[in-house]
Structure 1
Amino acid sequence: MAPSVLQNGGFFLGLLGAAALIAATAMNKWSVKDRQGEIVTSVYTYKGLWQDCETTSSGLTECRPLYGLLGFSGTFQAVRALMIVGVVLGVLGAVTSVFSLTCLTMTSMEDSSKAKMSLTAGIMFIIAGVCGIAGASIYASQIVATFRMSTINNYEGNMMQGGMGGGMGGGMGGIPTYTFGPALFVAWIGGGVLLIGGILKSLAFRGMMKDGTPHYPGVAYKPQAHTKTDSDHHHSAGGKNYV
């Protein structure tokens, strides 16, 4: 495949993946309240990396910002850090990728420089994709662990109370459980797209270096032909007698 095709494909995929990571990081629906088993759903609760929000049945939404560093777990802070690093590297990779495109002509830039920039952008895309996938996966693992604990606690509470009344009271007043939000899937998809874009940019680097390798064809040396005039001049100069 031509290096230009790989470069253009990697650029568009990297740009799309970076935009997806930015959108996922800014979204508030990383985890949403599980409505399964609820009779009345007057309040819709969902959480993000920066805000916790509640939406009532009337459509009124209230959000509580999550400021500070000390009030949250290390895992939550790690997810934030991974997403921020992924966004920064994705944006920097997209900017670097623009200047490495072969269709963009710059008189002062050689093909080898563009190839190196293409490789740099590819590495940035790959690291950004890994950060996005890792951040979403860590957050998802926390949701799964919390969901299991909440389910077990609600089940034990229902068993202890017993009866129909106890079961209904325990189910409605138990610990709320949360499930995956759409932001997780956006982060996973964005990270995967960034990985593919980074791989394409890296492959384009190999093709550009191969095509840009200087070749020096062999030039046969031919001695200058001597004319008769040059030969006569040479003999006359050599035949002079010096006193």
Structure 2
Amino acid sequence: MTVTTFQLMGFMLSSLGLFLISSACAMDMWQLQDRSFTLVTSVYTYSGLWRSCVDSSYGTTECRPFYTILGLPATFQAVRALMIVGIVLGAIGVLISICSLKCIKMGSTEDGVKANMTLTAGVMLIVAGICGIAGASVYANQIVSSYMTTTYTSQTGGLNQMGGYTFGPALFIAWVGGAVLLIGGGLKCVAFKGYNATYKAAIQKQPVYDESRTEDGRRDKQYV
């Protein structure tokens, strides 16, 4: 496969991964709780990184944003930070990927500069993917830790130990988006190796002028 193919595949996958983690960050269903089998009014309770929502049995949905920042747990704020850093790095990496494509001509940009830009984009995309996977994993660990300890009153009047939150679809989207970003960044790094090798081979074939001059005063043209 050519360098351009690796670059295009890495760009498309990284763009898809950036879209997925951005969508997951904006979604509300990071954790959800099904209480439809109880006698309470609320049927579904779910929350995300920015607000919590309740679906009632009457078909209405009410959401309330998290107005406070200092009052939130430190791990919750860490998940927010990881997702935001992943989105920012992914967006910058995608923009650099566009500029580093071999099939795009930008003035007199040399192949060596584009090779370095390809490597930079690949590293940034890999870090962005790690941030997305890490953020979703930390959030999932919180859900698992509190699953068995969260209780509520069931129909029989006792405490139901299975009343904790479970994984929402946004978690899986964040995991998939982070993995796709990792693959896209890896393809960018592979493209850098081929790009760099091609550039060095082209440099060795370019003509150079030495300091010696011929009898008529012109520089002698030699190849290296």
- Range of TM-score over shorter length: 0.7 to 0.9
Q: Is the 8 A contact 1:34 1:177 kept in 2?
A: no
Aligned twin of 1:143: 143
Matched, 1:168 2:156: yes
Say if 1:13 and 1:218 are closer, same or farther in 2 by CA, change over 3 A.
closer
Whole-angstrom distance in 2 between the partners of 1:180 and 1:217 = 58
Whole-angstrom distance in 1 between the partners of 2:144 and 2:92 = 33
Secondary structure of residue in 2 paired with 1:69:
coil
Gaps of 5+ in 2: 209-213, 215-224
State the shift of 1:72 in Å: 0.7
Whole-angstrom distance in 2 between the partners of 1:197 and 1:15 = 8
| CA offsets 1:206-240 (integer angstroms, 9 cap, x no match) | 10010011114899xxxx9xxxxxxxxxxxxxxxx
Matched, 1:202 2:189: yes
Say if 1:218 and 1:23 are closer, same or farther in 2 by CA, change over 3 A.
closer
Q: Report which of the two has the higher share of strand.
A: 2
Say if 1:72 and 1:111 are closer, same or farther in 2 by CA, change over 3 A.
same
Aligned twin of 1:81: 81
The number of equivalent residue pairs is 207
Whole-angstrom distance in 2 between the partners of 1:42 and 1:218 = 81
Q: Is the 8 A contact 1:32 1:45 kept in 2?
A: yes
Root-mean-square deviation (CA, aligned residues, Å) is 2.5
Q: TM-score, normalised by structure 2?
A: 0.85
Matched, 1:179 2:166: yes
Residues 8-23 of structure 1: pairs in structure 2 closer than 5 A: 8-23=8-23
Secondary structure of residue in 1 paired with 2:62:
strand
Secondary structure of residue in 2 paired with 1:5:
helix
**1:58 is aligned with what amino acid?**
Y
| CA offsets 1:19-39 (integer angstroms, 9 cap, x no match) | 101000000000000448x34
Aligned twin of 2:198: 211
Q: Is the 8 A contact 1:14 1:197 kept in 2?
A: yes
Residues 26-45 of structure 1: pairs in structure 2 closer than 5 A: 26-35=26-35, 38-40=37-39, 42-43=41-42, 44-45=44-45
Q: Is the 8 A contact 2:39 2:155 kept in 1?
A: no
State the shift of 1:94 in Å: 0.6
Structure with greater contact order relative to length (CA < 8 Å, sep ≥ 6)? 1
Whole-angstrom distance in 2 between the partners of 1:6 and 1:186 = 24
Secondary structure of residue in 2 paired with 1:177:
coil
Say if 1:218 and 1:182 are closer, same or farther in 2 by CA, change over 3 A.
closer
Secondary structure of residue in 2 paired with 1:58:
coil
State the shift of 1:9 in Å: 0.4
Q: Report which of the two has the higher share of helix.
A: 1
Gaps of 5+ in 1: 158-165, 225-243
State the shift of 1:67 in Å: 2.2
**2:164 is aligned with what amino acid?**
T
Residues 94-109 of structure 1: pairs in structure 2 closer than 5 A: 94-109=94-109
Secondary structure of residue in 2 paired with 1:45:
strand
**2:191 is aligned with what amino acid?**
A
Higher deviation after alignment, 135-144 or 27-36 = 27-36
Identity %: 50
Say if 1:195 and 1:60 are closer, same or farther in 2 by CA, change over 3 A.
same
Whole-angstrom distance in 1 between the partners of 2:140 and 2:96 = 32
State the shift of 1:180 in Å: 0.1
Whole-angstrom distance in 2 between the partners of 1:216 and 1:14 = 34
Rg larger for: 1
